[in-house]
Structure 1
Amino acid sequence: MSGRSELLRLENVRKTYGERVVLADVDLVVGTGDVVCLIGSSGSGKSTLLRCLNLLEPIDDGVIVFEGREISDPLIDPREVRKRMGTVFQAYNLFPHLSVLENCTLAPRRVHGVPRARAEKEARELLGRFGLSEHVDKHPDRLSGGQQQRVALVRALCTRPVLLLLDEITAALDPELVGDVLDAVRELAEQGTTMVLATHEMAFARDVATTVCFLHEGRILESGPPERIFTEPREERTRTFLRRVLGA
């Protein structure tokens, strides 16, 4: 955390699937306005960690505190927690039978009780910011992958989340579409949006993150500011991973 007020805290979080340990003793603090990038090989626990944060996966041990409240308590209603978070997956998960505008206004209207006119006005403004104004009435199958992913980002933002979770959102995109989506996320970071994201885009993590966490076999093996992680990693496994993905 970079000296900002604490928004999210994990203490000794553990998650298993049967005998397999997926997350082991994970500690993490995220401050308001922080951008935390999770890096590591496939299967290192990045996606599972994000799914635990928004309570799509229950943890087996440890504590998750969000906005000062322990949300890992089994008595907590996950739906109330998710109202305060936005999540975007690598599969866009847009409703194919709804237009772009309808996809973006569904949750504000149905979950948050926002009047239709206001929900549509705010969605149109956000869609315009991300270069999607001309696509508001189209259905997802009329859009490119990059456009669909930007719509998914806007849909998450339409609920005004205090925390945005992004899970490898460029992984399914053609290389020429990745830049548009990363530019959209970069803009959100510059505006102070608090984010935790799993990514394979090392240059993006180096430029945008306030904290980089390297995961290996379900543990945060090393974390710190990107300038240190990418230039002077302390752990040999971190160095090996970065050499492999950066080709250096």
Structure 2
Amino acid sequence: MSALLEVRGLRKAYGDRLVLDSVDLDVHAHDVVCLIGSSGSGKSTLLRCLDLLEDVDDGTITLGGVEISDPLVDPREVRKRVGMVFQAYNLFPHLSVLDNCTLAPRRVHGDSKAAAEERALGLLDQFGLAEHARKHPDRLSGGQQQRVALVRALCTGPDLLLLDEITAALDPELVGEVLTIVRDLAAAGTTMVLATHEMAFARDVATKVCFLHQGRILEQGPPDQLFTDPREDRTRQFLARVLPA
């Protein structure tokens, strides 16, 4: 079966600093791919390249058989198929929760207000947020805001969901409520690529784990293999540092 997302030879530099170096990655429908590695290893930059928030210097990104890294491709068309959730939520503070969630379906997809609100309210209810639909984001906890950001990304019905360290800005007691939502999405078959420092979550939920080091995917494989019998010395060193003894 061909991959939904194919990345080949991806390179990205900021000036003289090479951030992504010849990255290859395949993501199939219903995969949950976890990107792990030290801060600065290239995880967030890779996700931003996949969403075309960053231009790539070399290599190709193909989504559903279409090369989306082609400079002639309209990023707005790509983002109709790709949803992204950021570490810092990035909700619009002047809009209500409901308006945050319906903005893209109405403006980008051309959905009617009624249709967009019906879908958004259904998802907000599913994620325990229905009572907050008319509130502004600053009235919500960090965990609630991050759940709203997830709902906003899902409201467009994306083929691929990208999650960039979505628990990193949360208090420890709020991490679990957000990860529970992501677990539910994985169980429902949502295709995801996520950068995370939550090793237990990656071990339990991922179909594939990729260890990034100095801009390269140094090792990738099923979580049982990568966490228990990594092939690379650098992977073993990283896991020894971040896994409980």
Q: Same fold (TM over 0.5)?
A: yes
Q: Distance in 1 between matches of 2:155 and 2:2?
A: 24
Give the Cα separation in 1 of the matches to 2:244 and 2:119. Answer: 43
- Counterpart secondary structure, 1:6: coil
- Contact 1:5–1:32 under 8 Å retained in 2: no
Q: Distance in 2 between matches of 1:114 and 1:74?
A: 27
Q: Which residue of 1 is the match for residue 83 of structure 2?
A: 86
Q: How is 1:32-43 mapped onto 2 (pairs within 5 angstroms)?
A: 32-43=29-40
> How far, CA to CA, are the matches of 1:234 and 1:244 in structure 2?
16
TM-score using structure 2 length: 0.99
After superposition, where does 1:96-245 map in structure 2 within 5 Å? Answer: 96-245=93-242
Task: Provide the rounded CA distance (Å) in 2 between the counterparts of 1:117 and 1:81.
Answer: 24
Is contact 1:104-1:123 (8 Å) kept? yes
What is the deviation of 1:5?
Answer: 4.1
Corresponding residue pairs, total: 245
Contact residue 165 and residue 196 of structure 1 kept, 8 A: yes
Local SS of the residue matching 2:22: strand
**For residues 59 and 2 of structure 2, what CA distance do their matches in structure 1 show?**
22
RMSD (Å), alpha carbons: 0.7
Q: Would the aligned equivalents of 1:87 and 1:165 in 2 still touch at CA under 8 Å?
A: yes
Shift of 1:247: 3.4
Aligned identity (percent) is 76
AA aligned opposite 1:6: A
- Cα distance in 2, alignment partners of residues 16 and 91 from structure 1: 24
Taking structure 1 as the reference length, what is the TM-score of the superposition?
Answer: 0.98
Amino acid at match of 1:233: P
Q: CA deviation at 1:243?
A: 0.7
Residues 34 and 211 of structure 1 are in contact (CA less than 8 Å); yes or no, is this contact kept in structure 2?
A: yes
Give the partner amino acid of 1:111.
V
Q: CA deviation at 1:170?
A: 0.2
Gaps of 5+ in 2: none
Give the residue type in structure 2 aligned to 1:203. Answer: A
Task: Name structure 1 gaps, 5 residues minimum.
Answer: none
1:14 is the counterpart of 2:32: no
Post-superposition shift, 1:175? 0.2
The structural deviation recorded for 1:61 is: 0.7
